Amino acid sequence: MARRTSLFGWLRRSKKNGGRKTSEGALLLDKPVNPDHRYNDVTPLVAKFQIGQVVRHRHFPFRGIIFDVDPVFANTEDWYESIPEEVRPRKDQPFYHLFAENERTHYVAYVSEQNLVPDESDTPLNHPDIPEWFDMTPRGTYELKKGVAN
């Protein structure tokens, strides 16, 4: 029976071999393994809101339905820098993708958790992309359609 070894042990042995092919298989390292780094560590952040939840912006007059969540900021630096510094949100929090709407138009918004609050109104949303992604339940909530999630 073959000897079992941990991934970290295998990487450490491969590092000693300079990252070259070993008898156990191929491994090409472009950087040395750092034994103090926690690889594939899960973020401790937990999203406050969920997909399908209707929310509104804390400061601006729009509301929307969440269709995706990033555990931390994942947009471009240009987008981030375009926000005035005095109101720029922290990057180390969940950011939500919304099918958003206001009195005049509908659009897709990217909003930090600190700037969202639950929308308590019973007014249905009118964004044209909602029917493609969500079904309205008898309770008046939105449920993600099967096959839409990746």
- Mean pLDDT (10-residue bins), the chain, 150 residues: 50 50 55 64 75 96 97 96 94 97 97 96 94 92 85
For the record, the structure tokens of 95 come out as 């950011």
* Contact by Cβ (8 Å): 137, 48: no
**The predicted structure's pLDDT at residue 110:** 98
The rounded distance, in Å, linking the Cα atoms of 95 and 77 is 14
**The predicted structure's pLDDT at residue 21:** 46
The rounded distance, in Å, linking the Cα atoms of 131 and 128 is 7
The candidate with the shortest Cα–Cα distance to 89, out of 106, 68, 110, 107, is 110
* Contact by Cβ (8 Å): 66, 143: no
**The predicted structure's pLDDT at residue 150:** 60
**The predicted structure's pLDDT at residue 76:** 96
**The predicted structure's pLDDT at residue 25:** 57
Domain positions in the chain are: 1-36, 54-144
pTM assigned to the model: 0.69
